[in-house]
Amino acid sequence: MNIIEPQKDFTALRLNKLCKGVLAMDFGMTSAGESCGVFGIYDLGGGDVAQTIYYGLYALQHRGQESAGIAVTDTAIKNDKVFYHKGLGRVNEVFNAENIATLDGNLGVGHVRYSTAGASVPENSQPLVLAYIKGTLMLAHNGNLVNAPRLRRELAAGGAIFQTTIDTETIAYHIARERVKSRSVQEATVRALKKVQGSYSLVVASPRKLIGARDPWGFRPLVLGKLDNAYIITSETCALETIDAEFIRDVEPGEVITIFQNGRIESNMELALPKEKTARCVFEYIYFCRPDTTFDGMSVTQSRIIAGKLLAKFHPVEADLVVGVPESGNMAAVGYSMASGIPYGIAFTKNTYVGRTFIKPQQSSRMQSVKVKLNVLRDVVKGKRLVMIDDSIVRGTTGNQIVTMLKEAGAAEVHVRVSSPPFCHPCYFGIDIPNREQLIAHNRSVEEICKILGADSLGYLPIECLSEMAGGRPICTACFGGDYPIAPPTEDIRGDYVK
């Protein structure tokens, strides 16, 4: 068994080909961090997959900008050798033409990360690559486990030595342990996942199999696709579109899907719950997913347009123009305009080379990013009564700045409308909101929040409208209403008590 990491190279070299599609860079008042994006591919014809993974990760860059990684193996060679490269930074900062060329293999996984559990340090970058008694494993994980601290303590008591502080390593250890007494790696994966609780969309590559798994609640998206002789399991349909792959179907909540070397696909539904108990994260529809993604059969663009129409119904106002905070507020603004009859306009120009503000770990970085990446079009807003649509207000740290910028540019009024309810409760399933004290809506009325923002009025989408955004599918709304589908943890991955 050999695991080889190519020499790290963080020069400014770039791949010759440009990634298709436009990254969904969001500005917004949202200050919630999300988890990660995963991409797994198995080319049954033996072609190298590293460059395809690169493009797939580029399409998923909006899901995390702290680190990126790719691991591959050649299934035609029986030595289980794995080549990998990963590091801190965005996809085009971690990879270049030279290090991509060293990643030879037809089976591989990739990952982009935002740290919701575990620090933003190189050793926490994914995919994880492990050698164990049955060969090698390559794992990439999107989500948070609520029972990870207890599982880590149990493993440590049994002699396990951890190299990271992320949930993914706990899953990997359990798969490795279960593999010793299982007939196959997919059986070991099912057994291991029966021990964990929380959110996970997972891709696992063994020497000659690609496995995808989605938690029983279906918190995070996961889809199956095909490109010529290759099968793909990835976080969002937009990644399939970017590489011209065909969308086959969603991986179902509670499903473990295995792709074999002969092209056979096996589905295991042992982990599944009754469909009415599933709990898709509604924030995927509101904010996380790229607008060109379809999440469990629902177009994210249409979902946001529906939210805007409902906002116009519940919070009408006399105004001259409806504008959206780029990018995820734009489609809701279109919906508000359609329902209200108020013209839709573009009030902001943004520097697309600056990443999403919420992904910056430090508040000082987020505040600086507001001024660096967004400018108001003065000629558009001067003298106008504006309806400004945003997807959410979490911490509210940048909201006042945006309203102030509009008024300083000459807007007569700024009426803020939010295409989600007040964010009142922390999330333990992949949104980086650790405690209530950081939430602007905690212990504040709508009027108090409006005053903090400096807006002329403020209206939120009612919580009962969220199901319509998801096309009637069961969703998790715990961050708004506090009704958690799983009991929240009492401590985080580092052993600190959750407030």
Q: Is the pLDDT of residue 371 over 70?
A: no
- The whole-number pLDDT of residue 352 equals 66
- The whole-number pLDDT of residue 427 equals 87
d(CA 201, CA 461): 28
- The whole-number pLDDT of residue 4 equals 53
Q: Is the pLDDT of residue 203 over 80?
A: yes
With pLDDT > 70 as the criterion, what percentage of the chain qualifies? 85
- The whole-number pLDDT of residue 372 equals 73
Domains of the chain: 3-277 (3.60.20.10), 294-481 (3.40.50.2020)
- Give a three-class secondary structure readout of 421-440: CCCCCCECCCCCECCHHHCC
C-alpha dist (Å) from residue 109 to 137, 205, 373, 426, 444: 10, 7, 32, 31, 44
- The whole-number pLDDT of residue 24 equals 31
- The whole-number pLDDT of residue 27 equals 37
Q: What is the mean pLDDT of residues 136-153?
A: 92
pLDDT, tens only, 376-414:
999 999 999 999 999 998 877 778 889 999 999 999 999
Which residue spans within 391-476 are E strands per DSSP? 413-418, 457-460, 475-476
Q: Is the pLDDT of residue 219 over 90?
A: yes
- The whole-number pLDDT of residue 81 equals 92
Report DSSP state, residue 76. Answer: T
- The whole-number pLDDT of residue 194 equals 97
- The whole-number pLDDT of residue 119 equals 56
pTM to 2 decimal places = 0.88
- The whole-number pLDDT of residue 495 equals 44
- The whole-number pLDDT of residue 324 equals 96
- The whole-number pLDDT of residue 430 equals 83
Q: Is the pLDDT of residue 59 over 50?
A: yes
d(CA 181, CA 166): 25
- The whole-number pLDDT of residue 71 equals 97
- The whole-number pLDDT of residue 291 equals 95
pLDDT band at 433 (very low <50, low <70, confident <90, very high): low
- The whole-number pLDDT of residue 174 equals 94
Q: Are 256 and 211 in contact (CB under 8 A)?
A: yes
- The whole-number pLDDT of residue 400 equals 86
Q: Are 144 and 198 in contact (CB under 8 A)?
A: yes
pLDDT band at 373 (very low <50, low <70, confident <90, very high): confident
- The whole-number pLDDT of residue 355 equals 52
| Residues of the chain by 3-state class (helix, strand, coil), percent to 5 | 30, 25, 45
d(CA 13, CA 326): 30
- The whole-number pLDDT of residue 350 equals 80
Report helix, strand or coil for 136.
Answer: strand
d(CA 98, CA 63): 25
Higher-confidence position of 79 and 387: 387
- The whole-number pLDDT of residue 322 equals 98
Q: What is the mean pLDDT of residues 93-108?
A: 96
pLDDT, tens only, 434-462:
577 778 898 899 999 999 999 999 999 99
Q: Is the pLDDT of residue 374 over 50?
A: yes
- The whole-number pLDDT of residue 354 equals 57
Exactly one of 36, 289, 427, 476 is catalytic; name it.
36
Q: Give the type of residue at 62.
A: H
Averaged confidence pLDDT in the chain: 87
Higher-confidence position of 14 and 237: 237
For residue 289, indicate whether it is catalytic.
no
Higher-confidence position of 362 and 110: 110
> How many CA atoms, within 13 angstroms, populate the side-chain half-sphere of residue 467?
6
d(CA 457, CA 225): 45
- The whole-number pLDDT of residue 492 equals 57
With pLDDT > 90 as the criterion, what percentage of the chain qualifies? 70
Q: Is the pLDDT of residue 15 over 90?
A: no
Q: What is the mean pLDDT of residues 119-143?
A: 87
- The whole-number pLDDT of residue 368 equals 54
Higher-confidence position of 26 and 202: 202
